[in-house]
Amino acid sequence: MKDGLIRVGAGSPLVKVASPAACAQAAIATAKAAAARGVRVLAMPELCLSSYTCGDLLLSATLLREAESALSTYIRETAALDMLSFVGLPVAHGGRVYNCLAAVSRGHLLGLVPKTHLPNYGGCYECRWFAPAPACNLSVSLCGETVLLGTRQLFCCAEMPSLVVAAEICEDMWVAVPPSCAHTAAGATLIVNGSAADENINREGVRRSVVKSLSARLHTAYLYADAGEGESGTDMIYAGHCILADGGRVVAERLPFAPDGTLAVGECDLDRLLSARMRTNTWVPCEEGYARIPFSLSLTETAFSRAPAQNPFLPRDKKAALRAHARALDIQSAGLAGRMQRAHAKTLVLGISGGLDSTLALLVAVRAVDRLGLSRDCIHAVTMPGFGTTARTRGNADSLCAALGVRLSCIPIHAAVGQHFADIDHDPTVRNAVYENAQARERTQILMDLCNAENGLVVGTGDLSELALGWATYNGDHMSMYGVNASIPKTMIRSLVAHVADEYFDAGEGHITKILKDIIDTPVSPELLPPDGEEIAQKTEDLVGPYELHDFFLYYLLHDGFSPRKIYRYAAAAFAGQFDEKTIAAWLRVFFSRFFTQQFKRSCLPDGPRVTTVDLSPRGGWRMPSDASAEAWRAELDQLIAERGLS
């Protein structure tokens, strides 16, 4: 429960129709199984203490009495569990019967949340038995306790202020404006839905989409628990589909017809959801008429039942990742094609080094001119070998340009940079920032001048990771006229090039795939220092750290606003067994130091399309003063390092 993380669950007890005593035992077993797995908030289906398919028996005084007794049994038998749970039952009050979810914690009934919208179609006639939720909360007595019955209740955890729970029932989720909209406006961060939706061949996917959509647009966690196979099968079949969603992501799922006792269990990050709300100006808080009911949970650290993805920029699912790659290329090429048209450019000029970034930029340029129906001759690729260029990268650059049918020029920069050193009285044996940056700026000058000569557009090749770390020469490779890779991290650049290699060439173009595969295998390097024989001497990741880690850090800083401590915790879980905690902490310190000190390079970035969910454009995704201090972030990280003995 620390750092906004909480383990939640949803289950579908094996009910016995019209037998509340048996239903109570099934619900108790489900709650205990969930508690054993560390679940702190549990959702169960509507009417699971009586069964949903009782028909007119739901109006029977006997059944209503037995359902209350079943709830008393459930409260008593789960009193030792460190959990907030929701179970469904019919509740009679004031001459009406309500379809309610009972909120239970540590041996107490906290409140009753009735269903607002009652279906009257498809053989389901709930309005025959139940009254809709009252307009205001009512005071009722049940199981020896006096609590509220109404929809305007928020269950607030004293130990974890970000945990604010509200509930709605089945049909409420499907209406145009669900009660959860008001709940989240009042401050709820987790919505529980106890449901009893019958199964058909189309229902599963639609149900999943609705739950994901609600959790995404409301910036909330959503627990959905559906009635299962113990229900009557007279006319409809119930499959126990349970879904846990967190801000539009399915965290865990109990698939329809899963074996009895199967639970959906996963972690939700409530701080992440609150961070998303802070970024949404359309969010209108409104707590009017809501009662805040406190409850307690022990404050312990929630372990990840499933480690965070090492590459959060891409979906875990392979098919979804393929779609993301294809869409990224579409966005890049469409953006470049549009800029080329609007600028009335005749050519696209770019430096090609044989590295990943320039390779992807070249592939995008090819797609852009193909999209416009232009000859690939209008792409002018330029290799500019310098003091660190190796035969491997130069050969790959030449071969790729020839294979793709673009124009290629070779303009060595040794003499020009040597003259520049002489002009500024720099000793070329001193291989410092002057030695390196002079080469990058000379290359940019060549590209800009060629662009002027050909009425062209200089295509930038630098990526998001380099911009975050400032690993670019100011007014050198940092500058272009349109940066197609500016919002794509290095790890995704690599996977995009691999995607093109695997998906876009037929059997007769196998040589292109072979070239791209070798580029992928080449160490990342600016090649500004002389090589060691034919080996690249200057490997970027040896100097600034693994891009896998930096891209991970960057995502959670920009996308979710995580603190250094929380980023570290996520990274330690994601990269366990690959990087030790000391290594992660050390590179995280480097990341924050470089991220703050290098903002000045990002404050004057050229245009470029936003491709991923984050970017560092000063006109859009990230606005930060160049002289901002990193003191608070470093202090938090230093404290973490000291606490864990990672120095």
Active site residues: 46, 115, 170
* Helix, coil or strand: residue 312: coil
CA dihedral 528, 598, 381, 502 (to 10 degrees): 100
In terms of Cα–Cα distance, which of 147, 148, 113, 146 is closest to 132? 113
- The answer to whether 325 and 495 are in contact (CB under 8 A) is yes
In terms of Cβ atoms closer than 10 Å to its own Cβ (0-12, 13-18, 19+), residue 203 is middle
CB atoms within 10 A of CB 370: 13
- Residue 508's Cα: distance from chain center in Å? 39
- The answer to whether 318 and 326 are in contact (CB under 8 A) is no
- What whole-number distance in Å separates Cα of residue 64 and Cα of residue 55? 13
- The answer to whether 153 and 136 are in contact (CB under 8 A) is no
The half-sphere exposure of 434 on its side-chain side, counting CA atoms within 13 A, is 12
In terms of Cα–Cα distance, which of 92, 87, 9 is closest to 46? 87
- The answer to whether 540 and 526 are in contact (CB under 8 A) is yes
Instruction: Provide the H-helix boundaries in 483-576.
Output: 490-503, 510-521, 540-544, 547-558, 564-574
CB atoms within 10 A of CB 510: 10
Secondary structure letter of residue 532 according to DSSP? B
- What whole-number distance in Å separates Cα of residue 574 and Cα of residue 568? 10
Cβ burial 415-442 (10 Å sphere, 16+ → b, else e): ebbeebbeeeebeeeeeeeebbbbbbbb
In terms of Cα–Cα distance, which of 129, 275, 107, 246 is closest to 196? 129
Cβ burial 35-71 (10 Å sphere, 16+ → b, else e): beebbbbbbbbbbbbbbbbbeebbebeebbebbbebb
Place of tokens 């129906």: 373
- What whole-number distance in Å separates Cα of residue 471 and Cα of residue 578? 24
- What whole-number distance in Å separates Cα of residue 218 and Cα of residue 104? 25
Per the structure block, which two tokens stand in for 298?
Answer: 């022990």
Q: Render 77-109 in DSSP notation, one character per residue.
A: HTTTS--EEEEEEEEEETTEEEEEEEEEETTEE
- What whole-number distance in Å separates Cα of residue 637 and Cα of residue 641? 6
